[in-house]
Structure 1
Amino acid sequence: MIKGIGVDIVDLARFNRAITRTPALLARLFTESERGLPMHSLAARFAAKEAFIKALGGSDGVSWQNVEVVASAAGDPGFALHGVLAESVAARGIASLHLSMTHDAGVACAFVVAEGGAS
């Protein structure tokens, strides 16, 4: 059963300007392993984290550092949840998260589906 969906879109030029103007955003928004990626990949990950929050129905208990976008062994994007966030997500009845990301034509976009058992 779908527990929530979320979508977000990021303007790449605007995102790049924000990071250039305020470099401390990198450490605030991304885990250490994410920070070395190209700007378009960071923008897609930011969109993914925003879409994740929307799929949860709000940001209560969510820290930017506790949600990390990772690739599976097959290369598919997904989330690694750190700290108490994994427990918080499970408490909401969410058993799995599905993520799709893209970047093209000056934008990055992400879509998240939160799935769980019947309520």
Structure 2
Amino acid sequence: MIMGIGVDTVNIERFERIITETPAFVRRIFTPNERSRNVRSQAVRFAAKEAVAKVLGAPAGLNWQDCEVATAESGQPYLIIRGTIADRARELGINRIHLSLTHDEPMAIAIATAEYLSDAELEHLRKFNPESHRLSVITETSADEG
């Protein structure tokens, strides 16, 4: 069942000015893996974090580094969710977040779709599409990963 959808856009040129003028912003928002990426990639990852915050109701106290945007070998983006982000998702009954990213100058866009899957549906993913199951599934152990 779909629990919510969040979307965000980031102007890449404006984002580049922000990270150039405020280096602490990058350290506060991005994980070490995300910091090593180019500006366009960081801009779209920031949009993804904003989209996830929106789908979670954007409560105070979310730690941006508890939501890391990673890329599967296939090129598909997915989230590594832990800590405050995983806690809020579980509180809302969300156990899977789909992510779609795109960037084309001058904009970066991200869409996050949150859903709840029953145990049977999660098992179906494990059985028929193990790669899909691995991507952005929030479990009890997610908070301990990373």
**TM-score, normalised with respect to structure 1:** 0.91
Cα shift at 1:34? 0.5
Between the two structures, name the one with larger relative contact order (CA 8 Å, sep ≥ 6): 1
1:107 aligns with 2:107: yes
Match for residue 81 of structure 2? 81
One-letter amino acid of the counterpart of residue 32, structure 2: E
Identical-residue share of aligned pairs (%): 46
**Separation of aligned partners in 2, 1:88 and 1:57:** 9
Match for residue 45 of structure 1? 45
The structure with the greater share of residues assigned to strand is 1
Give RMSD over aligned pairs: 1.5
1:55 aligns with 2:63: no
**Separation of aligned partners in 2, 1:54 and 1:72:** 24
Aligned residues: 118
**TM-score, normalised with respect to structure 2:** 0.75
One-letter amino acid of the counterpart of residue 40, structure 2: H
Find the structure with the greater CA-based Rg. 2
Change (3 A) 1:67 1:24: same
Match for residue 91 of structure 2? 91
Q: Where in structure 1 are there 5+ consecutive unaligned residues?
A: none
**Separation of aligned partners in 2, 1:18 and 1:86:** 28
